[in-house]
Amino acid sequence: MKIAIIGYGKMGKAVANSPRLGSHEISAKIDLSAAGATAAEISAENLNGAEVAIDFTHPDSVVENIRQLAELKVPIVVGTTGWYEKLEEVKKIAAENSVGVLYAGNLSIGVQTFYAIVEHTAKLLTGKNFDAAIREIHHTGKADAPSGTAREIAEKVLANFPEKKAIILDNAEQPVPPEKLQISSARIGKVVGVHEVIFDSEHDSIRLEHSGKNRGGYAGGAIAAAEWLVKKNEAGVFTAKDWLGF
């Protein structure tokens, strides 16, 4: 399988160096300025025969990247976060160009398993007089806050824990209403990614945490998702639940 990497930053380089590549080939590394990139723009020539693309760029450029790749009939795995308000536009692009797009706030199989654990725990604690909150920590170079992963966790809590009705982002200057699910974000140093869900009651606390040790899990997951998308060979917009089945 020939893979084009769109965005040759930390995550793009992790994909290019992932043991999960095996016999797959990186046919293109497209980035406006990164050292080691093979081209600055998406084009049929620059993609060099790519059968699938993996995007780790910036929220502001994702939709245009998807549009250009879709017009070239190249399916896309999107690991970039912070653009989900434009999801309907992306669905239209995928349909008009008969191409597959798979997106996830986090492509790590470990994180996806963590999501399932959070969902199950939220269901178990419903009606049991527990409160809930989310904390996340990332490196100082991360473009969005809260992280896409934290937002996905929050959506899963809201869907399975009726005590919480809506998200509130930080809010240190006033009390948090009991029906709001608080997400706290911190940006420090080189932290790859830490996500914690806290369920707290008068008598005890339950803390669920996923901590990324390095980018290998995210890169390997992106390649596995690309394998699935190429094999599926269908138009449409897919999520990690479609890919992994949980």
Burial class (CB in 10 A: 0-12, 13-18, 19+), 176: middle
Q: Do 164 and 206 share a domain, yes or no? A: yes
Confidence of residue 166 (pLDDT cuts 50, 70, 90): very high
* Residue 134 to residue 242: CA distance in whole angstroms: 25
Q: Do 95 and 115 share a domain, yes or no? A: no
pLDDT score of 171 more than 90: no
Q: Do 132 and 93 share a domain, yes or no? A: no
Q: Do 103 and 116 share a domain, yes or no? A: no
Confidence of residue 246 (pLDDT cuts 50, 70, 90): confident
Catalytic residues: 138, 142
Q: Do 18 and 90 share a domain, yes or no? A: yes
Q: Return the CATH number at 179.
A: 3.30.360.10
Average pLDDT over the chain, rounded to an integer: 96
Residue 86 pLDDT: 97
* Residue 87 to residue 81: CA distance in whole angstroms: 11
**What stretches of the chain show up as alpha helix (H) in DSSP?**
10-16, 44-47, 59-71, 87-97, 109-125, 148-160, 216-232, 240-244
The DSSP 8-state label assigned to residue 147 in this structure reads: -
Range of the domain at 8: 2-107+215-244
Residue 105 pLDDT: 84
Residue 103 pLDDT: 97
State CA 14 to chain mean position distance. Answer: 15
* Residue 142 to residue 58: CA distance in whole angstroms: 10
What are the tens digits of pLDDT across the range 48-59? 999 999 999 999
Residue 219 pLDDT: 96
Q: Do 78 and 164 share a domain, yes or no? A: no
* Residue 132 to residue 206: CA distance in whole angstroms: 9
State CA 150 to chain mean position distance. Answer: 10
Share of the chain above pLDDT 90, in %: 94
Q: Return the CATH number at 234.
A: 3.40.50.720
Q: Do 45 and 127 share a domain, yes or no? A: no
What are the tens digits of pLDDT across the range 117-156? 999 999 999 999 999 999 999 999 988 899 989 999 999 9
Mean pLDDT value across residues 168-192: 93
Q: Do 126 and 94 share a domain, yes or no? A: no
- Number of structural domains (the chain) is 2
Residue 95 pLDDT: 98
Share of the chain above pLDDT 70, in %: 100
* Residue 54 to residue 139: CA distance in whole angstroms: 21
Amino acid, res. 218? Y
Residue 172 pLDDT: 72
8 or 170: which leads in pLDDT: 8
Q: Do 237 and 222 share a domain, yes or no? A: yes
What are the tens digits of pLDDT across the range 35-83? 999 999 999 999 999 999 999 999 999 999 999 999 999 999 999 988 9
Mean pLDDT value across residues 77-93: 95
Q: Do 126 and 68 share a domain, yes or no? A: no
Q: Do 123 and 100 share a domain, yes or no? A: no
Q: Do 103 and 6 share a domain, yes or no? A: yes
